Amino acid sequence: MTSEKSSISPVQMALFIIQTQIGVGILSLPSKVHMIAKGGGWISVLISGIVVQVLIFIMWALMKRFPNSTVYEISSQIFGNFLGKVVNFAYTGYFITVGVFVMVSFSDVLNRWMLPKTPRWAVLVLMVVAGIYLARGNIRMMARYYVLTSFLILLLILLVTYGFVDVDFTLMFPIQEAGWGNIVKASKDTFTAMYGFEMLLLIYPFVEGKSRGKLKAAFFANLFVTLSYTFTVFICLIAFNPEQLRLISEPVLYLIRRYQLYMVHRPDLIFINIWATTIIVTAASYYYAAATGLASLFGSRNHSKWVPYAVLCCFVVSLIPQTSSGMVKLSKFVDIAAYVFLHGLPLMLLVLSYLLKKKERGTA
């Protein structure tokens, strides 16, 4: 399966995961966690990061038993041909749904902050074209592009740091205002912003090196994302008062909008432009995941052919939800789906692979 041409290094894998994880969720995250956890919102992010580490460990344990297969191949090995296909179909559907979610949220933010009159399809076409182009290539090509654009994340963090110009540290106290129960509960919302680590299920077989190194890379990726999210949420919690956080839907953008940055009147537009790159990359990852799923469903070895179909699927579906209540429904659906596909199924596969004593043939 792994050919020399398409293998990537652990560092590339880490950046692949980071780029996929950093996505649409972060912009509204501070408001969401504050609603439940109040001043302790940043702790919720840390808790959520720990949960993701556990999930990464489960996925890694599964992938370690099948070092040359993607999740699609594993499920057909464990569940058999027919049931495996059903699971793979569901997984493909999940990746398409998340792709849709990314696209809808992206166009929603762009429409509200930057291009109020541009129709959604026009914004999405830009994303689709770039996404198809990226996802058609092999994993190495994608990873190289991800590495190339990863310095943009540092720029984003730098822009967020600019929010420090006017903060009040007392705003984060009392930390346990909402109680520890709510702080833990709010980590559920953070989890939505953390999607992307599931790429491990697909790119693991392409990564060079020992399994321990791969685990380290995945851990590091998640650690980086968790810390930068915590930092962002923390700044928003001390920059805005509770009432503002209740009113503002994207505190991270609002944070940057507040003051002029030298000559720039609207630094938030700069942020959106840089952020758009990371979102397109996130979408491309999901296009790739969905296309690989389609390829495996139809018994094809090459995913490139299936990319346009997967993207078309996402594109059409993402034009459906028009109102904000539709958006909420979609995000709820994605949340539930994530429990099944990120928590449930990987764990089930792992347990079954131990119970049925199934391992990849030819490896000890």
Partner 1 sequence: MKKGIAWISLFSMLLFLPGCWDQDDLKEARLVILYSMDRTSEGKIEQTAAIREVEPGEQQRIVDEIHSAVGLTERDSVNQLRKKTAGRVRHYDDLVYLIGKSLATSDIYPLLDVLYRDPKTAVYAKMAIVDGKAQDIFRIKKTGTFFIGQYLFEVLKNAENFSIISSPNTVESTFSKMLDPGKDFMIPLVKKTGEREVQVTGVAMFHGHRMTGRLHHDQAVLFNLLSGRYGKETRFARKVHPGNPDNPANYIVIQINRVKRKFKVATRPDGKVDVQLHAKLRAIAMEYPRNELENEKKIKKLNKTLSNMLTRESKEVIQKMQRARCDAFGVGRQLIAFHPEVWKRKKWSKDYPKVRFHTKVEVEIMGDDLLK
Residues that bind partner 1 (CB under 8 A): 112-119, 122, 125-126, 129, 166, 168, 170-174, 177, 239-244, 247, 257-260, 265-266, 268
User: CA 242, CA 173: separation in Å to the nearest integer?
Assistant: 11
Residue 51's H or E segment, with its range, is helix 41-65
Output the smallest distance, CB 95 to partner 1, in A: 24
Which tokens sit at 244? 């503002």
User: CA 2, CA 257: separation in Å to the nearest integer?
Assistant: 46
Of 189 and 268, CB closest to partner 1: 268
Look at the chain and count its residues. Answer: 364
Residue 7's H or E segment, with its range, is none
Of 259 and 354, CB closest to partner 1: 259
Of 172 and 317, CB closest to partner 1: 172
Output the smallest distance, CB 327 to partner 1, in A: 18
Output the smallest distance, CB 135 to partner 1, in A: 15
Is 90 in contact with 284 (CB distance < 8 Å)? Answer: no
DSSP one-letter code for 3: -
Of 264 and 340, CB closest to partner 1: 264
Of 133 and 298, CB closest to partner 1: 133
Of 204 and 287, CB closest to partner 1: 287
User: CA 56, CA 73: separation in Å to the nearest integer?
Assistant: 19
Whole-angstrom CA distances from 69 to 48, 297, 348 are 28, 15, 17
Output the smallest distance, CB 174 to partner 1, in A: 5
Give the other-Cβ count within 10 Å of 214's Cβ.
22
Which tokens sit at 100? 């849709």
Is 2 in contact with 137 (CB distance < 8 Å)? Answer: no
Output the smallest distance, CB 118 to partner 1, in A: 4
The amino acid at 110: L
Is 357 in contact with 110 (CB distance < 8 Å)? Answer: no
Output the smallest distance, CB 36 to partner 1, in A: 17
What is the Cα 149 distance to its own chain's centre?
A: 16
Of 54 and 247, CB closest to partner 1: 247
Output the smallest distance, CB 252 to partner 1, in A: 14
